[in-house]
Amino acid sequence: MPRNPDDVLAGVARTRERIAEAAARAGRSAAEVELVAAVKYLEAEDLPLLHAAGITRVGENRTDQLVAKQAAYGDLFTWDFIGHLQSRKVKEIAGHVSLIHSLFTESTAAQLERRSPAPQDVLIEVNAAGDPDKDGVAPAELDALLELLAPLTNIRVRGLMTMPAFAARPEASRAAFAALRELAEQAAERWIGVHTFGDLSMGTSQDFEVAVEEGATLVRAGSVLLVPDDASR
């Protein structure tokens, strides 16, 4: 069923307001935070509604859907990959996305190095909360992965990403977000001149305001963009 254009306009506007309010609470500028529309559950034909609402950057979780949606509306957006990236699927997106938010395995890194036609910007996914049900490198193993990536010429580390467990209360995600920020600050000092850590991708529709308060530069919001106000909470 097609989305209501007015609901999408209102949903995007209200989400941007909430980002700005959260940034102000943390003494930050809203301009420091970029909204990435997570389009996993959105049909391709509805993507122009996001564009009409001012969205310029989208993220897809599935390689096949990214390929299909990009083929239909590639010129409307900057495209990111935000889901679990299997090494055997790298060839489908290498060179076709601005940023991969979810690199955390040696095998995927090897395929990216081999398949990318030009240096690919990536974020390292970190399991900041130590959740056995979530992907990501353990914080204690981050340096080992960064060491492995250092000599590669087709992978550029731009920061970190995390995905806490679903929680009924947004506040439950704060510790993981704060831990990721601290990890990025420490890594930036150790890897100066090799990797950069200017981007923190954290926060989804359930907890993006807390993520902004803790330093997110990219928030991955989906369902909250498609409703006129806070009905998705």
Query: The domain spanning residue 166 has which CATH number?
Result: 3.20.20.10
Instruction: Tell me the whole-structure pTM to 2 decimals.
Output: 0.95
Residue 107 in domain:
yes
Domain that holds residue 168: 5-224
CA dist list (Å): 92 to 45, 50, 97, 112: 21, 24, 10, 11
Whether 104 shows a pLDDT value over 90: the answer reads yes
Residue 232 in domain:
no
Whether 30 shows a pLDDT value over 60: the answer reads yes
**In angstroms, how far is the first alpha carbon of the chain from the final one?**
22
Give the pLDDT confidence of 162-220 residue by residue, as tens digits.
Answer: 998 888 899 999 999 999 999 999 999 999 999 999 999 999 999 999 999 999 999 99
Task: Please tell me the predicted confidence (pLDDT) of residue 3.
Answer: 80
Range 46-63 average pLDDT: 97
Task: Please tell me the predicted confidence (pLDDT) of residue 50.
Answer: 97
Q: Per the structure, how many domains does the chain have? A: 1
Task: Please tell me the predicted confidence (pLDDT) of residue 205.
Answer: 95
Total Cβ atoms within 10 A of residue 151: 9
**Of 4-13, 126-135, 136-145, the least confident:** 126-135
**What number of CA atoms fall less than 13 Å from residue 158's CA on the CB side?**
18
Task: Please tell me the predicted confidence (pLDDT) of residue 165.
Answer: 83
Share of the chain above pLDDT 70, in %: 97
Confidence class for position 125, pLDDT limits 50, 70, 90: very high
